[in-house]
Amino acid sequence: MYIALLAYTAPRNEVDYALAEHAEWLRTHFSRGLFLVSGKGDIDHDQVILTRPCVRGKLDAVLATDPLVIQRLAHYTVIEFSATRTAHEFHAINEALAS
């Protein structure tokens, strides 16, 4: 699994113009099943995405298509981790990790 941390590299007023496209991009990858959770981050990371396990190259390719990245308004830092315990609400992920 991965945590993708998005940091804006441009002033917020410039980022705001691309947020609708970014939101549509997120919807696409949620509907395709890659993204599990997304939301606002802390001071250092403006947004956070939790993904399903996948090949790292696939994730990198998907993140490169984010309109915020294409327009050079933000960049991602990715943290890979192996989930060994999850809450009951993530039961389907537990099963995927066990196989």
2-41: pLDDT as tens digits: 999 999 999 999 999 999 999 999 999 999 999 999 999 8
Q: What is the pLDDT of residue 66?
A: 98
The answer to whether 46 touches 7, Cβ cutoff 8 Å, is yes
pLDDT digits (tens, 9 = 90+) for 72-97: 999 999 999 988 877 777 766 666 55
More confident site: 93 or 57: 57
| Assigned token pair, 61 | 């390719």
Q: What is the pLDDT of residue 97?
A: 58
Residue 67 and residue 71: Cα distance in Å, rounded? Answer: 6
Q: Is 33 left (phi over 0), alpha (psi -120 to 50) or beta?
A: left
Q: What is the pLDDT of residue 67?
A: 98
